[in-house]
Structure 1
Amino acid sequence: MLIALVDRGDSLHVLLTKRAEHLKHHPGQVSFPGGKYEESDKDLSSTAVREACEEVGLKEEQITVVGELPALPTISKFAVTPFIAFVDADYSIELDDNEVAEAFEVPASFLFPGNIFESQFELKHSRHKIFAIPYQKHFIWGVTAQIIDAMGRQLA
């Protein structure tokens, strides 16, 4: 999973995607670019970069990975490893319509802190914390919002 940061001069932005509605897992949800490790990937960082290139059309030379957050398990039994990267501001979007319905940027100043809502619920006799961030017409929640919260705590 790639947390793609874009320096817009006066502010830092985060690139997010809205997953295609026909997907089996998490259809229509807002997420970071990312996907499954493939044998051709050198490591998980390479997976994150490859998936960002495939999903939104970024070019590998436009991406500079600068860090990694701890892996997070999801309720749906996936483990995600977020990589933080800077992306050249002059990138252009070429969506893979099979995977992504939309790509958009959110100012980082909106995401950290204060706009993240937190709640708890019980599922299969376990308590889970859920995070959510409403932004314009989008609702960022689940592991994506959890990663944004974790990154905000790292920066604080």
Structure 2
Amino acid sequence: MDGADLDIEARLRAALARRGDASSDYDIDPGLPQPSGRTLRQAGVLVAVHLGGDGPRLWLTKRSARLRHHPGQIAFPGGKVDQGDDGPVGAALREAHEEIGLDPDRVEILGTLPAHETVTGFSVTPVVGLLRGPFAPVPEAGEVAEAFCVPLAHVTDPTRFRIEGRRWQGRRRHYYVVPWGPYYIWGATARMLRSLAERMSR
């Protein structure tokens, strides 16, 4: 492992060790109605940082346009915690294997970020892990239209993020975005990346 990879690993470990609050889709939309008596479902997503090559990069997916929920959106590999999973970490690794063909044994888990609450009723734990060596994703056609990389430096730079809004359920909802080329990264995915960016910029 070269010096640049060691530096990125050290920065990621330091970022994960810093104290910080959980994030939420309600962070920048405090007036957004929250269902009373809601029970959040647990989920895990894999923040897979691929070392080597032209620099560290992050794997993301574009969801299939045929999906009922969030079709065509950019997301981390991941999903809800199923019975038999080892919590959010196990769910993130299992889903990454199912969605893009990433062998769990190839991922070195560094830690987790505080959970993120979504307006769809999930408590999502971002699981940060390292991937080294060649990897050719195999998207699961029923769920994933495309798997692609973005430079880690782009999505860990707080200045790359901005707040936008659109009409949702009869009111204007606000959210973070961090576009990359043709990919419009927004919503919960952008908010979780923003949390990582804030920690890494300290």
TM-score (norm 2): 0.71
Gaps of 5+ in 1: none
2:143 is equivalent to residue 99 of structure 1: yes
2:97 is equivalent to residue 53 of structure 1: yes
- How far apart, in 2, do the equivalents of 1:120 and 1:18 lie? 21
Q: 1:25 aligns with which of 44, 65, 69?
A: 69
Match of 2:86 in 1: 42
Gaps of 5+ in 2: 1-44
Match of 2:176 in 1: 131
Match of 1:69 in 2: 113
Q: Secondary structure at the match of 1:51?
A: helix
Q: How many residues align?
A: 156
Higher mean C-alpha displacement, 139-148 vs 89-98: 89-98
Q: 8 Å contact 1:62–1:91 — kept in the other structure?
A: no
Q: Point out the structure with the larger strand share.
A: 1
- How far apart, in 1, do the equivalents of 2:79 and 2:50 lie? 21
Q: CA RMSD in A?
A: 2.0
- Equivalent position amino acid for 1:51 in 2: E
> Offset at 1:125?
9.9
> Offset at 1:9?
4.4
Q: Secondary structure at the match of 1:138?
A: coil
CA offsets 1:86-138 (integer angstroms, 9 cap, x no match): 11231221111111000000001112212111246786799964100111111
> Offset at 1:24?
1.3
TM-score (norm 1): 0.91
Q: Point out the structure with the larger helix share.
A: 2
2:156 is equivalent to residue 150 of structure 1: no
- Equivalent position amino acid for 1:135 in 2: W
- How far apart, in 2, do the equivalents of 1:122 and 1:77 lie? 19
Q: Which structure has the bigger radius of gyration?
A: 2
- How far apart, in 2, do the equivalents of 1:88 and 1:145 lie? 24
